[in-house]
Amino acid sequence: MKTALRFTLASSVLLLMFGFQIIKTQLSLTVRNELGNTESGVTVQLYETEEDYNAEKNPAAEGVTDEKGIVKFKELKAIAYYVLARKDDKDNSGGGEQTGKLEANRINKSTVVIQ
Provide the residue count of the chain. Answer: 115
Residues paired with 111 in a beta bridge: 30
Number of domains in the chain: 1
Report pLDDT for 96.
Answer: 64
What are the Cα distances from residue 94, in Å, to 23, 51, 76? Answer: 33, 16, 25
In sequence order, which residues have a C-beta less than 8 Å from that of residue 49 and are 6 or more positions away? 82
How sure is the predictor about 115, in pLDDT bands with cuts at 50, 70 and 90?
very high
Q: pTM for the complete prediction?
A: 0.80
28: buried, middle or exposed (CB in 10 Å: 19+, 13-18, 0-12)? middle
Q: What is the pLDDT of residues 58-106, one digit of tens each?
A: 999 999 999 999 999 999 999 999 999 999 999 998 766 899 999 999 9
Question: Which range of residues forms the domain containing residue 106?
Answer: 23-114
Q: What single letter denotes the amino acid at residue 42?
A: V
Within-domain flag for 1 = no
Within-domain flag for 39 = yes
Strands 61-64 and 43-47: antiparallel
Q: What single letter denotes the amino acid at residue 93?
A: S
Q: What's the N-to-C CA distance of the chain in angstroms?
A: 69
Within-domain flag for 110 = yes
Q: What is the pLDDT of residues 5-58, one digit of tens each?
A: 454 555 555 555 554 558 899 999 999 999 999 999 999 999 999 999 999 999
